[in-house]
Amino acid sequence: MTEHLLDVNNLVTSFRTADGNLTAVRGVSFSVEQGETLCIVGESGCGKSITSLSVMQLLPNGQIDNGSIQFDGKS
């Protein structure tokens, strides 16, 4: 089995609000091979930016609730 450069499995990201938790990304999974380009497309507000920020661990006031992110074999 080939190890992927980036593996994202069942990613769930949320934000705490005054009204409770708001889930912004629910169950996202994808993998990227070395040398491959991945484009994430979708409507405004569908979670593209939050998914990317979650992978880079740059969430502004957000938290990863579930899932795994592995880059080059490391969590």
Q: pLDDT in tens for each of the 75 residues of the chain?
A: 567 999 999 999 999 999 999 999 999 999 999 999 999 999 999 999 999 999 999 998 999 999 999 999 899
User: Can you read off the two tokens belonging to residue 53?
Assistant: 């920020």
Q: Using CA atoms, how far apart are residues 26 and 6, in angstroms rounded to an integer? A: 18
Distance CA 3, CA 10 (A): 18
Residue with tokens 């880059």, as numbered in its chain: 71
Angstrom distance (rounded) from CA 13 to CA 47: 9
Distance CA 55, CA 17 (A): 22
